[in-house]
Amino acid sequence: MKAFMVEKYGDATGMHAADIPDPQVGADDVLVRIHAASVNPLDMKIRDGSLKAILPYRLPLVLGNDLAGEVVQVGSSVTRFAVGDEVWARPDKDRIGTFAELLAIHQDDLAAKPATLTMTEAASLPLVALTAWQALVERAKVQPGQKVLIHAGAGGLGSIAVQLAKALGAHVASTASTAKVDLVKELGADEVIDYRTQDFSEVLEGYDFVLDSLGGENLAKSFGILKPGGLAISVVGPPDADVARELGLNWVMRAGTTVLSAKTRRSAKKLGVTYSFLFMKASGDQLRELASLVDTGKIRPIVDRVFPFDETLQAMEYVEKGRAKAGKVVVSMT
């Protein structure tokens, strides 16, 4: 099969197309013919080697972290899926590789594709939708009436998190550029802060939860808009020891992450709030919950541009250079 491989860490020059053997299918695996996959900032971080301390992949590696496609084979112990089923997934972190024609996925990480979406639309969602779910539902346990701030509300993660927070009954604020304010309002945000003309930290206060996808000063200022006992979760800020334990890292790496996040955690503690880092995990069960929200119209995908599979490298460059206007970039195999 054809796939896009990372041969060496560094930059785009270390990645290329290759013909490789079809995947082996284990007893609990489902072999999926991939129709579409989306590009995530995570792909560039893995390619460049910036995450190799916590994600020690062995190269060469097929890149790609979410998909939509059709089941073409099932393992002997598979009970939930049959050949011909249309599915979507974010594979487990140890079994990524969706920039390929085929992928074998554990049945627990797979779910039926939302019936109302095309393959291209469905492929844009798994990683960002699971991230939003695990932040808002699993970690923050957002309740109706709570005040939630979602940064970068027009982005891949932000556009889904805004919709999910609204579906949970929260009062939702978000940040966006001038050109994207109307889109974020259409997605359900009650307040949109134009970061080009306003400082969100001077406008908002008394929030229960912040989802940060920008890091740095943005994360530090986010602590100040939380009420005492509030929670800020970042997907780009410094990892903490909890994440190190979840990833099964050794005690040296756990200690290292504790040091890396110490300043951020102290800053939060001084204000009486909590900081947490999120590295999302695969979950077919959560994708089923999300598919229901999609099919009832509470969450809709935002697709910026679709590239043919042969132009996967160009799609990654498009995302890396910030050319996407809103939502996700997808590569289509069909």
245: domain CATH number?
A: 3.40.50.720
**Per-residue pLDDT averaged across 265-278, rounded?**
94
Residue 323 Rama label (left phi>0; alpha psi -120 to 50; beta): alpha
- 82, 204: one domain: no
Which residue type occupies 325?
A: K
Q: Is residue 66 part of a domain?
A: yes
Provide the percentage of residues in the chain whose pLDDT is more than 70: 95
Q: What total number of domains does the chain contain?
A: 2
- 134, 248: one domain: yes
- 310, 250: one domain: no
Q: Is residue 266 part of a domain?
A: yes
**Per-residue pLDDT averaged across 147-163, rounded?**
98
- 83, 136: one domain: no
pTM for this one? 0.95
- Is 254's pLDDT higher than 80? no
Mean pLDDT check: name the lowest of 46-55, 144-153, 236-245, 303-312: 236-245
- 9, 145: one domain: no
274: confidence class by pLDDT, cuts 50, 70, 90: very high
- 131, 120: one domain: no
Q: Is residue 196 part of a domain?
A: yes
CA distance 176 to 158: 10
Query: Can you give the pLDDT at residue 253?
Result: 66
- Tens digits of per-residue pLDDT, 49-84? 988 888 889 999 999 999 999 999 999 999 999 999
Q: Is residue 182 part of a domain?
A: yes
- Is 168's pLDDT higher than 90? yes
- 181, 198: one domain: yes
Cβ 134 vs Cβ 141: under 8 Å: no
- 143, 262: one domain: yes
260: confidence class by pLDDT, cuts 50, 70, 90: low
CA distance 24 to 19: 15
- 16, 37: one domain: yes
**Per-residue pLDDT averaged across 213-241, rounded?**
92
CA distance 33 to 72: 6
Tell which of 242, 262, 277 closes a domain: 277
- 257, 138: one domain: yes
Q: How does DSSP assign 257-306, residue by residue? A: HHHHHHHHHHHHHHTT-EEEE------HHHHHHHHHHHHTTS----EEEE
Cβ 133 vs Cβ 282: under 8 Å: no
- Is 305's pLDDT higher than 90? yes
**Per-residue pLDDT averaged across 119-126, rounded?**
98
**Per-residue pLDDT averaged across 80-96, rounded?**
97
Query: Can you give the pLDDT at residue 41?
Result: 95
Q: Is residue 283 part of a domain?
A: no
- 165, 148: one domain: yes
- 89, 116: one domain: yes
Query: Can you give the pLDDT at residue 289?
Result: 98
Query: Can you give the pLDDT at residue 250?
Result: 67
Query: Can you give the pLDDT at residue 21?
Result: 97
**Per-residue pLDDT averaged across 167-188, rounded?**
97
Query: Can you give the pLDDT at residue 244?
Result: 66
Query: Can you give the pLDDT at residue 52?
Result: 86
Q: Is residue 44 part of a domain?
A: yes
Mean pLDDT, the chain, rounded, equals 95
Q: Is residue 38 part of a domain?
A: yes
**Per-residue pLDDT averaged across 153-174, rounded?**
98
Q: Which domain holds residue 247?
A: 127-277
Query: Can you give the pLDDT at residue 218?
Result: 95
Provide the CATH number for the domain around residue 63. 3.90.180.10
Q: Is residue 290 part of a domain?
A: no
